[in-house]
Structure 1
Amino acid sequence: MGQLVDGTWHDVWYDTTSTGGAFERTTAKFRNWITADGAAGPTGEGGFPAVSGRYHLYVSYACPWAHRTLIFRALKGLEAHISISAVHPDMLSEGWTFETDAHGATGDTLYGLPFARDIYLKADPQISGRVTVPILWDKERETIVSNESSEIIRMLNSAFDELTGNRDDYWPEPLRSEIEEVNARIYDTLNNGVYKAGFATTQAAYDAAVDPLFDTMDWLEARLTEGRYLMGGQITEADWRLFTTLVRFDPVYHLHFKCNRARLIDYPNLWAYTRELYQIEGVAQTVNLEHIVRHYHYSHDTINPNRILPTNPVLDFMEPHGRG
């Protein structure tokens, strides 16, 4: 996971020396919004109207943040309207690449460029920052609309409704305050918490991450005894933001990131809930466990320097979930 500095690539890992061994995630650089009429969104500039065929998603099947956008693209019936390119699962000295020698890795289907960083440089030749996915690209203006997954899924949730007729709403107005509160805890302690545990370089930093992580797992298990989904009887973005971490938990985070106090399958409610979400139409096709396992174990040589891929237990996400 290198970075660009004034448009030049540097193969450097995260600096945890200055943070006492703790991993700190950088913020997204591009924060524009696609809107129904092209008006400016909550951040950034306007000029990005919801038009079929105009936008392209660069994703990694391994990355939970990019996975969110693939799920919303499927749930909202946007496959015919927003094209995609999927990077190679290995992220080594060149960062995310468009090599195609892995099943599901498409290459850069727009420009034929070799690296994901080339997309950033196409938008801004002097850019500085981490090269992350997802990248929501505007083919007409040839620039990045957004690389912030939490905002991309909200665009996909509603901006194209007039075009598709799909008005399923995963960000309903009456629940927004509660969704934000739940999102905040899950993001800090679980979505990002697994990385804070896995990338910690001191015992203190690891302990500070892993204890809140499992406190949140316990809290979620209890919450799901009271309602079918995190907001009760309605699936919202909070469920999908959680799902992309849960589906990776036992294959990757439990072992690779040392989040091993318990497994997902040790939580009856969470495990059944994960299976139910996986079995919703269109979702299973967005889950590529081959890319997930390969990416984490092969790419993080600070954690797994010999790049040995583990023999994981087989999880049956299609097992009946028994939740109605």
Structure 2
Amino acid sequence: MTAQEVERGRFVRQPNRFTARITADGAGGYPAEAGRYRLFVSYACPWAHRSLIVRRLLGLEDALPAAVVDPIRDERGWRFPDPDPVTGAAFLSELYLASDPSFEGRYTVPCIWDTVTERLVTNDFPNITTTLETEFTALHAPGAPDLYPEALRPEIDELNDLVYNTVNNGVYKAGFATAQDAYEDAFDALFATFDRLEERLAGSRYLFGDRITEADVRLYPTLARFDAVYYSHFKCNLRRLADHPNLWAYARDLYSIPAFGETTNFDHIKRHYYVTQRNINPSGVVPKGPLVDWTAPHGREALARA
């Protein structure tokens, strides 16, 4: 977090610098081609996590290779455990500055590198997943789900806006607030939305019935990090995820799907937040808990049959 990201005690996320679009027809100069692009991610980052989930659900692993950075970030930004074999970069910052030498700010994941023009195309995390869903369709695996069905897009977008502002980014607004009123506003909005989602999921297996959509992909990474990080580290401690029967069962239901569970790395998540964010956790000590069973039966199948 930079000083520019706190205004009057309130956390304000920095704008995304690279916002070019990859399209099926290549009209903007970046066609959706297999093997042309490289996705840079962190298992710790919720925004990057959603791109890994979608990439796996759609069967794009071969078409869009990915590289994972180390979970511990310092003033130089995200580091590759070994120099990236395609770009040769040791730090993600090298690719940002190669694309824009004047760039100032945090070097964020996820981002997509074009191996042809040798520059970053996008770090616009809200649009990376929908781009994979709508512009890479020719490269989807047979039988891949339609995560962003056209008929539901207005409703999905409306729910995504609420979840982003009060839940996904809401935990950051609470955690990085430096004023009591800013913290309490974010805290109250977060749990008000949790209450709405808890009610919604009482009669629906997923956020939009029996099908997984972009809305589930966007909510899940925050839920996966909630009890392990946000409850204590970001002071979001009114209730745990495990104290919400429907949300907790829903999260475990998604976790049981390989695209969700196998991209959830609790070791990377906890080490990143507790070790990297020394302004919140000066000691860098990583908590051992919570000890919960994400593989416990969730019982959500019954809702699909209801």
What band does the TM-score fall into relative to the shorter chain? over 0.9
- 2:38 maps to 56
Tell me which of 26, 30, 34 is aligned to 2:14: 26
Once the two structures are superposed, the pairs formed by residues 128-143 of structure 1 within 5 Å of their partners are: 128-143=104-119
Task: State the distance in 1 between where 2:279 and 2:179 align.
Answer: 13
1:253 to 189, 206, 230: 230
Matched, 1:69 2:41: no
Aligned letter for 1:27?
P
Superposed CA RMSD in Å reads 1.4
1:305 to partner: Cα distance: 0.8
Provide the residue aligned with 1:7 in structure 2: none
User: CA shift at 1:123, angstroms?
Assistant: 1.1
Q: Which amino acid aligns with 2:100?
A: D
* Counterpart-to-counterpart distance in 1, 2:5 and 2:123: 22
Question: 5+ unaligned residues in a row in structure 2: which ranges?
Answer: 302-306
CA–CA separation in structure 2 for the residues paired with 1:79 and 1:164: 10
Residue 262 of structure 1 aligns with which residue? Answer: 239
Q: Per-residue displacement from partner, 1:165-196 (whole Å, max 9, x unpaired)? A: 44521111111111111111110011000000
Mapped to 2, the partners of 1:49 and 1:249 lie a distance apart of: 37
Question: How far did 1:85 drift?
Answer: 1.3
CA contact (8 A) 1:277 1:283 kept: yes
Q: Determine if the alignment matches structure 1 residue 37 to structure 2 residue 25.
A: yes
Give the TM-score normalised by the residue count of structure 2: 0.94
The verdict on how the C-alpha distance between 1:301 and 1:224 changes in structure 2, with shifts beyond 3 A counting, is: same
Structure 1 unaligned regions, length at least 5: 2-11, 40-45, 101-105
CA distance in 2, matches of 1:228, 1:165: 24
State the 1:282 CA deviation: 2.8
- Aligned to 1:115, which of 91, 101, 116? 91
Partner of 1:6: none
Partner of 1:92: 74
* One of 214, 219, 230 as aligned partner of 1:237: 214
Please state if 1:180 is matched with 2:157: yes
1:95 CA displacement? 1.7
Structure 1 residues 84 and 269, CA, compared in 2 at 3 Å: closer, same or farther? same
Structure 2: how far apart are the matches of 1:278 and 1:59? Answer: 19
| Contact 1:85 1:107 (8 Å CA) reproduced | no
Give the distance between the partners of 2:261 and 2:202, measured in 1 at CA. Answer: 25
Question: Given residue 92 of structure 2, which amino acid in structure 1 is its aligned partner?
Answer: A
Amino acid aligned to 1:238: A
Distance 1:175 1:15, change over 3 A: closer
Indicate the percent of aligned positions where both proteins have the same amino acid. Answer: 50
- The residue identity in structure 2 corresponding to 1:31 is T
In terms of mean alpha carbon deviation, does 58-67 or 162-171 score higher? 162-171
For 1:187-266, list aligned pairs within 5 A.
187-266=164-243
Would you say 1:311 and 2:280 are equivalent positions? no
Which among 249, 267, 271 is matched to residue 272 of structure 1? 249
1 CA distance for matches of 2:140 and 2:130?
A: 16
Once the 2 structures are TM-superposed, how far is the Cα of residue 115 of structure 1 from its aligned partner?
1.5
- Write the distance in 1 (CA, Å) between the matches of 2:170 and 2:61: 31
Which residue identity is paired with 1:150? Answer: P
Aligned residues: 300
Deviations 1:14-50 (A, max 9, x none): 553xx221110011111122222212xxxxxx11111
Q: Is contact 1:57–1:137 with CA below 8 Å preserved after alignment?
A: yes
What does residue range 263-302 of structure 1 map to in structure 2 within 5 Å? 263-302=240-279
Cα gap change, 1:211 to 1:168, in 2 (>3 Å)? same
SS state at 2:201 partner: helix
CA distance in 1, matches of 2:38, 2:94: 15
Q: Secondary structure at the match of 2:258?
A: coil
Deviates more, 1:229-238 or 1:212-221: 229-238
Which residue identity is paired with 2:198?
E
2:139 aligned with 1:145: no
What per-residue deviation string (whole Å, max 9, x for no partner) do you get for residues 275-323 of structure 1? 1111113322211110000000001111011111112122222212111
Q: Which amino acid aligns with 2:139?
A: L
1: CA distance, partners of 2:44 / 2:265: 7
TM-score norm. by structure 1 comes to 0.89
CA distance in 1, matches of 2:5, 2:136: 40
The answer to whether the 8 Å contact 1:186/1:242 transfers is yes
- CA positional deviation for 1:211: 0.6
SS at match of 2:65: strand
